[in-house]
């Protein structure tokens, strides 16, 4: 109670006082560019990802534009120790996502290198993915993949550096006859998703890979 009084929760965009469970006010939420993707149909994310790897289905909640509210929200989640924002983004995703008859069998999250995980203190995808797993009743694994190379954050890399993450991920166990949903925060060049997807496809039997991200770069 005292903490809430001394440090009241404010909207990330307009700084207005809001409920402690929220991250933006209702007025500013309308400023977020939601993608309106349908998981079971072709969309902008699926078209982009299909150029790099065989993607079954794809969904992006938001459009990630420079200096947009979506960018601000995700940067707060990743770099400002606000891990719980993942729950808010998951709630928005649940409102808009319908798997229909394409529901995956397993969820896996993009891993952080142990060094980066220690520095940050958390993987920004875990709360988000756990909420989706619980709501849609899909098993989840945070250990199916591991990162074997350490590098600086994607947002701080130039385009050339982003293309050098090949073979940076490793599958920890072989999977068979599964439709796997890979979850990441932002789809930019597609390099991370592509490397992981090929690692899964090349080291598993009869596995389909779908992709879900909080936002896609436009």
Q: Tokens for 190, please give them.
A: 């597609």
Cα(212)–Cα(186) distance, integer angstroms: 9
pLDDT bracket for residue 86 (50, 70, 90): very high
Least confident of 94-108, 136-150, 154-168, 204-218: 154-168
The per-residue pLDDT for 156 is 53
Mean pLDDT over the full length of the chain: 92
Q: Is 96 helix (H, G, I), strand (E, B) or coil?
A: helix
Cα(185)–Cα(74) distance, integer angstroms: 8
Element (H, E) at 183: strand 176-187
pLDDT bracket for residue 158 (50, 70, 90): low
What domains are there in the chain, each with its CATH number?
1-31 (no CATH), 33-217 (3.40.50)
pLDDT, mean of residues 86-93? 98
| Count of all residues that appear for the chain in the document | 218
Element (H, E) at 15: none
pTM for the full predicted model: 0.90
Q: What are phi and psi for residue 108, nearest 5 degrees?
A: -135, 145
Radius of gyration of the chain (CA): 17
Longest dimension (CA), the chain: 55
Q: What is the pLDDT of residues 27-84, one digit of tens each?
A: 999 999 999 999 999 999 999 999 999 999 999 999 999 999 999 999 999 999 999 9
pLDDT bracket for residue 20 (50, 70, 90): very high
């Amino acid at each position: 109670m005292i903490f809430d009084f001394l440090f009241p929760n404010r909207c990330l965009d307009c700084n207005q006082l809001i409920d402690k469970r929220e991250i933006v006010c209702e007025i500013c939420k309308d400023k977020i560019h939601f993608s309106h993707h349908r998981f079971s149909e072709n969309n902008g994310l699926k078209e982009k990802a299909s150029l790099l790897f065989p993607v079954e289905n794809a969904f992006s909640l938001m459009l990630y534009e420079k200096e947009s509210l979506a960018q601000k929200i995700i940067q707060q989640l990743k770099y400002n120790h606000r891990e719980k924002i993942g729950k808010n983004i998951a709630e928005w995703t649940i409102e808009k996502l319908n798997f229909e008859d394409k529901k995956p069998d397993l969820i896996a999250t993009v891993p952080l290198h142990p060094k980066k995980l220690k520095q940050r203190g958390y993987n920004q995808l875990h709360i988000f993915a756990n909420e989706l797993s619980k709501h849609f009743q899909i098993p989840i694994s945070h250990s199916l993949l591991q990162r074997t190379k350490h590098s600086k954050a994607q947002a701080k890399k130039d385009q050339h550096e982003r293309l050098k993450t090949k073979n940076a991920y490793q599958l920890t166990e072989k999977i068979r006859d599964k439709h796997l949903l890979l979850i990441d925060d932002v789809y930019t060049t597609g390099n991370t998703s592509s490397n992981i997807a090929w690692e899964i496809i090349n080291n598993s039997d009869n596995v389909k890979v779908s992709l879900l991200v909080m936002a896609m770069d436009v």
